[in-house]
């Protein structure tokens, strides 16, 4: 574990990414407050993302449309276009890599880079070159904020200080002064729940957190994450170990006309097929299905164990069973606002074993062969031409290819 004596990391965060991409792509939106919504034609939803003009007026991401319109009557609502954001992301990454290699893509709108010896001595020039390259080759409406610091975590925090379109440099010689001026909610990993826990221990601000001991932070977090965070805040070059993928899933806010249990099942079925396609592309099998529903005044969840499977027939059969449980347990009628499906307990296909007692290996391999054939046809024609059961995407489309902050959709997600 090293304690760098100079800046070694750049963290780049695009400003209002989805809304700014819409402004770059659509001239009439430029300079206007923009709110990206899941689908058009209703106010009974939320603003997924808003532009810097909308934020300046008081709007926030994940704000109810009616509330956002009350704050900003001129807000222009735009239905999401996830494939546009995927293509914009890829174009922006390519332009940044023409200036500096990207070390890690943290989300669709955030990335980090390691600095070489020359870049460490001229961070302002590097930031200006990145911004100039993006403006010239992609467009001036997709701006970014950039932070420089000794490690990735501090660089991320620095990049949030002067948004939008800012540059902030936290040199180790300046620390911890700039850090101590930040509120606790700016620390990666300190959300509302952790803030409440810290407050209960008398820790209300950054100086109080900073001056704890590493073992104390480990006890607060109940794991090594707290200790790692202590070292990160104190400028050490420390990274969490990589983790194995444990699940693959999709969720969807339902349009008003699809909020019955029967209509929600149809969307859940399409989401599950998309999740199973991702499972196969990643060369995994799953051994479980988890289903989650957001309903009026609460939620419902159910699960089902499976043998090691990856074909559509197996996961859809499990969905029918879990959905039957939901139908039995939920009040009638019920309004479903959101549905999520997740394939769990993943195993690499190289480690897959048949079930000794189920003895379904022959039938399973037939379904797998049929599923691979349908995947190949869909990939060949660039859209879903073959599916197990009807394929009728809901209003707004984007089944499995929706906006994602944590995962960059692939082109195959839009088939």
The catalytic site residues sit at 110
Nearest one of 232, 159, 155, 229 to 194, comparing CA atoms: 229
Q: Are 148 and 10 in contact (CB under 8 A)?
A: yes
Angstrom distance (rounded) from CA 183 to CA 178 = 11
Residue 206, H or E segment? helix 206-210
Name the phi and psi angles at 401, rounded to 5: -120, 25
Q: Are 253 and 403 in contact (CB under 8 A)?
A: no
Give the contacts of 385 (CB within 8 A, at least 6 positions apart).
Answer: 377, 378
The residue with tokens 């159910």 is 302
Six-digit token string for 133 = 């390259």
Give the contacts of 235 (CB within 8 A, at least 6 positions apart).
Answer: 3, 4, 149, 150, 151, 154, 172, 175
Q: Is 111 helix (H, G, I), strand (E, B) or coil?
A: strand
Q: Is 201 helix (H, G, I), strand (E, B) or coil?
A: coil
Angstrom distance (rounded) from CA 190 to CA 166 = 23
Six-digit token string for 73 = 């009557």
Six-digit token string for 6 = 């100079």
Q: Is 11 helix (H, G, I), strand (E, B) or coil?
A: strand
Angstrom distance (rounded) from CA 29 to CA 33 = 8
């Amino acid at each position: 574990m090293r304690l760098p004596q100079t800046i070694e990391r750049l963290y780049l965060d695009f400003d209002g990414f989805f809304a700014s991409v819409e402004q770059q792509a659509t001239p009439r939106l430029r300079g206007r407050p923009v709110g990206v919504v899941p689908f058009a034609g209703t106010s009974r939803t939320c603003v997924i993302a808003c532009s810097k003009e909308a934020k300046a007026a008081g709007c926030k991401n994940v704000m109810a449309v009616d509330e956002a319109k009350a704050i900003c009557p001129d807000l222009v609502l735009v239905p999401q276009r996830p494939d546009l954001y995927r293509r914009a992301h890829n174009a922006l990454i390519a332009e940044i890599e023409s200036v500096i290699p990207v070390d890690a893509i943290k989300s669709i709108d955030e990335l980090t880079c390691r600095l070489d010896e020359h870049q460490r001595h001229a961070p302002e020039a590097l930031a200006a070159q990145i911004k100039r390259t993006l403006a010239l080759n992609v467009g001036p409406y997709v701006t970014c904020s950039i932070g420089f610091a000794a490690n990735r975590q501090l660089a991320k925090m620095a990049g949030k200080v002067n948004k939008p379109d800012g540059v902030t440099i936290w040199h180790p010689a300046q620390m911890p002064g700039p850090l101590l001026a930040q509120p606790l909610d700016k620390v990666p990993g300190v959300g509302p729940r952790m803030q409440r826990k810290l407050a209960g221990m008398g820790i209300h601000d950054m100086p109080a957190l900073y001056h704890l001991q590493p073992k104390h932070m480990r006890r607060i977090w109940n794991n090594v994450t707290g200790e790692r965070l202590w070292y990160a805040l104190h400028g050490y070059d420390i990274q969490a170990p990589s983790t194995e993928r444990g699940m693959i899933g999709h969720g969807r806010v339902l349009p008003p006309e699809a909020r019955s249990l029967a209509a929600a099942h149809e969307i859940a079925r399409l989401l599950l097929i998309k999740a199973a396609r991702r499972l196969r592309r990643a060369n995994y099998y799953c051994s479980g299905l988890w289903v989650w529903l957001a309903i009026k005044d609460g939620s419902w969840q159910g699960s089902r164990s499976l043998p090691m499977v990856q074909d559509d027939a197996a996961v859809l059969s499990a969905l029918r069973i879990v959905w039957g449980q939901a139908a039995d347990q939920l009040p009638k009628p019920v309004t479903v606002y959101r549905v999520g499906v997740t394939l769990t307990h993943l195993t690499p296909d190289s480690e897959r074993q048949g079930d000794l007692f189920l003895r379904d290996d022959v039938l399973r391999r037939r379904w797998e062969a049929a599923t691979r054939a349908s995947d190949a046809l869909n990939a060949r024609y660039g859209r879903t031409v073959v599916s197990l059961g009807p394929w009728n995407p809901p209003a707004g489309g984007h089944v499995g290819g929706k906006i994602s902050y944590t995962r960059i959709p692939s082109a195959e997600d839009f088939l």
